[in-house]
Amino acid sequence: MPLELVKEKWTGKINEVTIGATKGEGGTRTSKIVVGGETGLPFLHEEGEMPHRPVVAMEVWDTAPSDWPEVLAAPFKEVMDDPGRWSKKCVEEYGADLLALRLQSAHSDWGNASPEKVSEGVKKVLEAVGVPLIILGPGQDDRDNEVLPRCSEVAKGEKCLFGNATQDNYKTLVAACLADGHSIIGESPIDINIAKQVNILISDMGFPLEKIIMDPTTGGLGYGLEYSYSIIERGRLAALGAGDKTMALPIICRVGQESWRAKEAKAGESDFPDWGAVSERGPLWEATTAVALLQAGADILVMRHPRAVESVRKTIDSLTRKNPLRDSAETLD
């Protein structure tokens, strides 16, 4: 008797969000990325459609990240002080089709750069590469509010994804993104109730839910990842099953930032000789965190190490095949 799979019926659909505008659409990007559109849980191709594969956005900073561990900094050493060259390297050498530019130079501990200065960096990256951009503020409310509107303006028409709006600080960024045609990231502190609230607050300003992406915040593997996992999954169930449109939004996770915080990713071999080579541990920690979040429902993974990026991309390839078991068997032949 053939095995009958139990299939869940879903009625909802996750919004589709486009990042990047080409010449014909009023921007200068050479490509664009669409995320979302799922009508079922991740990679259950028998239950629903997953029209757009999840994507990796490689992280680029607008100032050299002096606190990155050696293993992580090594691939970018030559280009770290120039966001244009760093971006180019990610695209040309590592095949990035989406970049996340972090405006760390605006952080009060990292140089406190002026809006003018910071927006120059944004321009540089836009000129250096043709892929769509995610642009992230330093995460300090006052600095975000000074710097992001100027950056939004210089990127007007490029349909970037700007972040992050939070429950206590969203109005300035929402207004800027509305004026300049960008999408926005709504961030919540590993709290599903606040995640929903942020979406309501942003949409109450007349910003369409269809252009918001949720950052539920995550911990790296071993540091609270499972809380984010449950939150992402519960949000998806509400969106797909109960038709909750305020939760039917694609998800972005800052995988690199959290994974490389973990002691296991960067502690030296002399301190922990049993843990294996530090050159392997970090990229593995980052890739494993990413893959878990993919299974939860993440649509965009912001990542750092080229080897982790490559391995996650391969995982996405195999998971987005319609019949991974059969296809992998064919590969084995």
Partner 1 sequence: MIIIGEKINGMYKVVAKAIQAKDKSAIQKLAEEQVFASADYLDVNTGPASANPVEAMEWLVDTIQEVTDTPLCLDTTKPEVMEAGLKKCKCKAMINSTTGQEEKLNAFLALAAKYGAAIIGLAMDEKGIPQDAAARAEIALRIVTAAMEKGISLDDLYIDPLILPVNVAQPTAGHVLETLRQLKVLSDPPPKTVLGLSNISQGTEERELINRTYLVMAQGCGLDAAILDPLDSQLIDALITADLLLNKNIYCDSFLKAYRKK
The site for partner 1 (CB under 8 A) is made up of 192-197, 200-201, 203-204, 209, 234-235, 238, 242-247
For partner 1, the closer of residues 4 and 330 by Cβ is 4
Nearest by Cα to 245 from 13, 4, 6, 23: 13
For partner 1, the closer of residues 151 and 231 by Cβ is 231
The answer to whether the CB of 151 falls within 8 A of the CB of 173 is no
For partner 1, the closer of residues 74 and 242 by Cβ is 242
Give me the least distance between CB of 197 and partner 1, in Å please: 4
Residue 331 CB-density burial (10 A; 0-12 exposed, 13-18 middle, 19+ buried): exposed
For partner 1, the closer of residues 143 and 196 by Cβ is 196
Give me the least distance between CB of 216 and partner 1, in Å please: 12
For partner 1, the closer of residues 179 and 242 by Cβ is 242
> How far is 222 from 332, CA to CA, in rounded Å?
33
> How far is 333 from 314, CA to CA, in rounded Å?
19
Partner residues linked to 36 by β-bridges = 16
Give me the least distance between CB of 52 and partner 1, in Å please: 24
Q: What is the DSSP string of 43-99?
A: T-TTTS---S--EEEEEEESS--TTS-HHHHGGGTTTTT-HHHHHHHHHHTT--SSE
Helix, strand and coil content of the chain, in percent to the nearest 5, comes to 45, 15, 40
**Quick one: angle between helices 225-241 and 278-296, nearest 10?**
20
For partner 1, the closer of residues 100 and 174 by Cβ is 174
Joined together, the tokens standing for residue 251 give: 């998800």
Partner residues linked to 303 by β-bridges = 58
Give me the least distance between CB of 208 and partner 1, in Å please: 11
Give me the least distance between CB of 227 and partner 1, in Å please: 15
The answer to whether the CB of 142 falls within 8 A of the CB of 173 is no
> Three-state DSSP class for 300?
strand
Give me the least distance between CB of 234 and partner 1, in Å please: 7
For partner 1, the closer of residues 26 and 243 by Cβ is 243
Give me the least distance between CB of 200 and partner 1, in Å please: 5
Joined together, the tokens standing for residue 154 give: 């210089």
For partner 1, the closer of residues 238 and 308 by Cβ is 238
Give me the least distance between CB of 59 and partner 1, in Å please: 30
